[in-house]
């Protein structure tokens, strides 16, 4: 479990990026931080692996204040995937994936074998292993980025707009791939996006942020869609409703996300409000 306890961050130039932020991020669930530009999403994410330290308050992982942990050691248990993949341009795909395990002292042969297996995990053909990042499509580069994030077998995976720079079709493929991976791997995922649709699709817990890391609402997609906590949330959630495909539909079996054509786009874990009328969750 990751817990933010009254965390604030003021940068040296005086910018108050996050003010008094408290939140629990459950283990083996995906928490999505969503909000407009400058709302503090990246700052919050980077506080989990100590790329940024809070000015006040603390961040705990499994009850331990991470300020007491050495950043380098802490990061060994935390994968980090960023927009534009962050790959080393002069290293092959295989070397990019194997870099961190090698740094951690994994023998070269094993690190390379593990890296190849990791390519399978993220749905990349092994024939790409010896290419350089510039010889890959944007979507393939992002997959390598995910493979690299997973290569240290972290409990926690931080993802900062990982699919922001790819076209909508590839983005949708990558999202589905992440859903599949998450089912298999059961990591604690913290995912940053400014796309509410992506947030609803991927998040077990969705955190809608206003400026200064202020929580406008936190809940499951179904909860937020059913009961927006404020006009701000209602507007944010429905801002592009005309084009936004997804909405929640609740039936006896549970709550699902469907698109404008009534096609199933995802299953929301939240049990339906009808349960109050006596129906037990399945
Ligand atoms: N190193 C820094 N020094 C000063 N101000 C910073 C620094 N990093 C971020 N900020 C400011 O903190 C605020 C929050 O930034 P942050 O990057 O966390 O927002 P964000 O929600 O991730 O935005 P985006 O979606 O544009 O990436 C912004 O006003 C930003 O300009």
Residue 41: CB within 6 Å of ligand 1? yes
**pTM (2 d.p.):** 0.85
Ligand 1 center to residue 265 CA distance, Å? 32
Ligand 1 center to residue 243 CA distance, Å? 28
Residue 193: CB within 6 Å of ligand 1? no
Q: What's the CA gap between 12 and 98, in Å, rounded?
A: 36
The tokens of 257 are what? 């996300």
Ligand 1 center to residue 51 CA distance, Å? 13
CB distance 10 to 55 below 8 Å: yes
Q: In order of start, what are the domains of the chain with their CATH numbers?
A: 2-240 (3.40.50.300), 241-277 (no CATH)
Position 269 scores a pLDDT of: 53
Ligand 1 center to residue 112 CA distance, Å? 36
DSSP result, 109-132: HHHHHHHHHHHHHTT--GGGTTS-
State which of 10, 11, 160 you would mutate to test the pocket of ligand 1, scoring each by most atoms of that ligand within 8 A of its C-beta: 11
CB atoms within 10 A of CB 183: 8
Closest residue to atom 13 of ligand 1, CA basis: 17
Residue 17: CB within 6 Å of ligand 1? yes
Position 167 scores a pLDDT of: 84
ipTM summary value = 0.97
pLDDT tens-digit series, residues 119-150: 998 889 999 999 999 999 988 999 999 999 99
Higher pLDDT, 47 or 77: 47
What distances in angstroms separate CA 84 from CA 140, 156, 161, 176, 194, one per listed residue? Answer: 11, 20, 9, 19, 16
* Ligand 1 atom at shortest distance from the alpha carbon of 18: 14
pLDDT tens-digit series, residues 17-57: 999 999 999 999 999 999 988 999 999 999 999 999 999 99
């Amino acid at each position: 479990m990751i817990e933010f306890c009254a965390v604030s961050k003021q940068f040296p130039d005086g910018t108050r990026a996050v003010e008094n932020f408290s939140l629990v991020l459950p283990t083996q669930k995906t928490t999505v931080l969503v909000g407009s530009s400058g709302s503090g999403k990246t700052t919050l994410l980077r506080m989990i692996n100590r790329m940024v330290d809070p000015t006040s308050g603390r961040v705990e992982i499994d009850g331990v204040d991470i300020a007491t942990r050495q950043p380098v050691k802490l990061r060994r248990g935390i994968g980090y995937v960023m927009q534009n993949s962050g790959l080393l341009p002069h290293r092959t795909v295989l070397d990019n994936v194997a870099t961190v395990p090698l740094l951690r002292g994994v023998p070269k042969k094993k690190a390379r074998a593990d890296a190849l297996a990791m390519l399978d995990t993220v749905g990349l053909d092994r024939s790409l292993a010896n290419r350089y990042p510039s010889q890959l499509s944007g979507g393939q580069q992002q997959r390598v980025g995910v493979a690299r994030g997973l290569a240290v077998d972290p409990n926690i995976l931080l993802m900062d707009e990982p699919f922001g720079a790819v076209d909508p079709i590839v983005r949708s493929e990558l999202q589905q791939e992440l859903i599949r991976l998450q089912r298999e791997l059961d990591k604690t995922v913290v995912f940053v996006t400014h796309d509410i649709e992506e947030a609803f699709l991927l998040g077990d817990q969705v955190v809608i942020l206003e400026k200064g890391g202020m929580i406008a609402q936190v809940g499951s997609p179904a909860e937020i869609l059913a009961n927006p906590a404020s006009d701000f949330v209602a507007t944010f959630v429905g801002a592009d409703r005309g084009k936004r495909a997804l909405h929640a539909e609740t039936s006896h079996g549970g709550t699902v996300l469907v698109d404008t054509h009534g096609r199933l786009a995802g299953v929301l874990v939240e049990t339906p409000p009808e349960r109050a009328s006596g129906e037990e969750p399945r």
